[in-house]
Amino acid sequence: MIDSKILGDIRNQRCILFLGPLMTTVRSEGKGTSLSELVCSRLSKELVKSNILSSDNGVQRNPYYVNSKYINFIGGRKEFEGQFERINSEFVQGPSYVYYRLSKIPFNTIINFGYDHLMERALIKGGYEFRFDYYNYCGDRKQYLKDSDEFENPLDKKTQLVYNLLGSIYNAESQIYTEDDQLEFMRQIAGDRRIPDNVLSRIRDDKDGKSYIFLGFNFEEWPFRFLLDLLDVPKKMKKSAYPKLNNYTIALATQEFYTERFGLEFIDSSPEEFARELIIKYNSVVFDHKYGYVSYHDSDEQYVKDFQLFLQNTGLSKRIKFWSKRQIMPGDIKEEAIRNNLDKATIYIPFINKDFLNDPALQHEMKVMMAKPNVMIFPVITKNCDYLFKFPDLKRKSAMMLPKEDSWLATAVKQPSDEDYVAMIKKINSKIR
CA distance 166 to 112: 8
pLDDT of residue 123: 97
Average confidence (pLDDT) over 414-431: 96
pLDDT of residue 93: 82
pLDDT in tens, 198-237: 899 999 988 888 999 999 998 888 888 889 988 989 888 8
Q: Per-residue b/e over 227-265, b at no fewer than 16 CB within 10 Å?
A: bbeebbbbeebebbbbbbbeeeebeeebeeebeeebbbb
Q: Are residues 296 and 387 located together in one domain of the fold?
A: yes
Q: Are residues 314 and 188 located together in one domain of the fold?
A: no
Is 43 within 8 Å of 64 (Cβ atoms)?
A: no
pLDDT of residue 152: 47
Distances from the Cα of 413 to the Cα of 276, 383, 416, angstroms: 49, 12, 10
- CATH number for the domain harbouring residue 360: 3.40.50.10140
Is 129 within 8 Å of 160 (Cβ atoms)?
A: yes
Last residue in a domain, options 221, 255, 285: 285
Average confidence (pLDDT) over 163-174: 92
Highest mean pLDDT among 13-27, 115-129, 184-198: 115-129
Is 24 within 8 Å of 98 (Cβ atoms)?
A: yes
Task: State the total domains in the chain.
Answer: 3
- Residue 64, C-beta contacts closer than 8 angstroms, at least 6 positions apart: 176, 177, 178, 179, 181, 182
Q: Are residues 35 and 117 located together in one domain of the fold?
A: no
pLDDT of residue 59: 66
Q: State which residues form the domain around 145.
A: 4-25+94-285
Nearest in space to 371 (alpha carbons), one of 346, 340, 341, 401: 346
CA distance 224 to 216: 13
Q: Are residues 216 and 130 located together in one domain of the fold?
A: yes
Q: Is the pLDDT of residue 142 over 70?
A: no
Element of type H or E holding 26: strand 26-28
Last residue in a domain, options 45, 63, 91: 91
Q: Are residues 197 and 127 located together in one domain of the fold?
A: yes
Q: Are residues 119 and 176 located together in one domain of the fold?
A: yes
pLDDT of residue 334: 87
Q: Are residues 191 and 87 located together in one domain of the fold?
A: no
Q: Are residues 104 and 79 located together in one domain of the fold?
A: no
pLDDT in tens, 152-162: 455 677 889 99
Average confidence (pLDDT) over 358-369: 96
Q: Is the pLDDT of residue 12 over 60?
A: yes
Q: Are residues 80 and 195 located together in one domain of the fold?
A: no
Last residue in a domain, options 234, 269, 285: 285
Give the model's confidence band at 138: pLDDT under 50 very low, under 70 low, under 90 confident, else very high. confident
Average confidence (pLDDT) over 68-97: 89
Q: Are residues 73 and 157 located together in one domain of the fold?
A: no
Q: Are residues 231 and 258 located together in one domain of the fold?
A: yes
Q: Are residues 106 and 194 located together in one domain of the fold?
A: yes
pLDDT of residue 252: 92
- CATH number for the domain harbouring residue 98: 3.40.50
State which amino acid sits at residue 358: N
Count of C-beta atoms within a 10 Å radius of residue 305 = 12
Write down the pTM of the prediction: 0.90
Residue 216, sorted as left (phi over 0), alpha (psi -120 to 50) or beta, turns out to be: left
